[in-house]
Amino acid sequence: MSVLVIIKRVFRMHQTDKIVPLLKELRVKSEKQPGFLSRTTYSKMSDPGEFIVINEWETADDWMNWMNQKEARDLQWQIDSLIGEKTIFEVYRPEEF
- CB of 72 within 8 A of CB of 66? yes
Concatenated DSSP letters of the chain: --EEEEEEEE--GGGHHHHHHHHHHHHHHHHTSTTEEEEEEEEETTEEEEEEEEEEES-HHHHHHHHTSHHHHHHHHHHHHHHTSPPEEEEE-----
Q: What is the pTM of this model?
A: 0.88
pLDDT in tens, 60-80: 999 999 999 999 999 999 999
- How many Å apart are CA 82 and CA 79, to the nearest integer? 5
Q: Which pLDDT band, with edges at 50, 70 and 90, does 90 fall under?
A: very high
